[in-house]
Amino acid sequence: MLSYLSEWHHYVYGILTFVFIGAYVLHFLPQGKLGKLKAILETETILMLVLIFVAVIAARVEHIGKKADIRWEQASDLFRREGFQEFKSITSTDQIFRELSDALSDTDKEVWATGFRPDPPKTLKSYSPGAAQWYENLDKWTNAQSGRTYLRLVGLSNDANHDWFKEECTKQENISNRVFKGLEWNKETPFINMIIFDDDVVFLMFRSDPALIEQTIRYKVSGKEMTRLAREWFQALWEIGQSCEGAKELSITSQNKSG
């Protein structure tokens, strides 16, 4: 019985089609015994049947749309489990900070970031109003609950970056889950910056000329395989980084990973 009900639309299509064909044929037949039937199938009745037909089609389209959404969710889950990586190109400085804040809101445990650029991160605020909001959101996220960790690896290429690194080290003296390290870096050397959220999202930022922020190529990559590779690279750099003066050494290769 249920199998018949699940195919109800086929029966409705058949009945409506039969009525339409019958009405068309009756239109050309002479008046007689079929006159009453012709009267029933006047224009108003046909219009009503057309509306019913449209309603049936709309119901089917909605049903098909819901099934398509379910299939897409199933396919997306399969892609994630099979190592599928989703790359999203980010075209502007404003957009990257919006995307970072959105990703942060879905992050449970860890944010790992590199900052290899000629100028300290605070200069980014002059490029986009979203930069200030991003760093504010990051501080709030770090302090919102226990068990969260924010690690940042800073490229030390000049006096400005060295001074900024020292300032941040002073700020974090009493914050155990916000840890900075510095790494000597030649500012003429191209670098790939990354921001890793837990174990399933990483933002990659490529700049052939570190001084030209407008030439930065940015991608958001969603997928555990790419994020795993980014985490391994970050870990290797972290182990050779310079800790803040007097800070307790933190090794992340032995930390429990999120997920």
- CA torsion 132-134-135-141 (nearest 10°) is 140
Q: In this predicted structure, what is the pLDDT of residue 86?
A: 85
pLDDT at 253: 58
Q: What is the pTM of this model?
A: 0.65
Q: Would you state the structure tokens that stand for residue 94, as one six-digit string? A: 């404003």
Average pLDDT, the chain: 78
Least confident of 89-93, 170-174, 236-240: 170-174
Q: Which tens digits make up the pLDDT trace of 58-90?
A: 666 666 666 666 766 766 665 555 566 788 999
* The pair of three-digit structure tokens given for residue 45, joined into one six-digit string: 């009745």
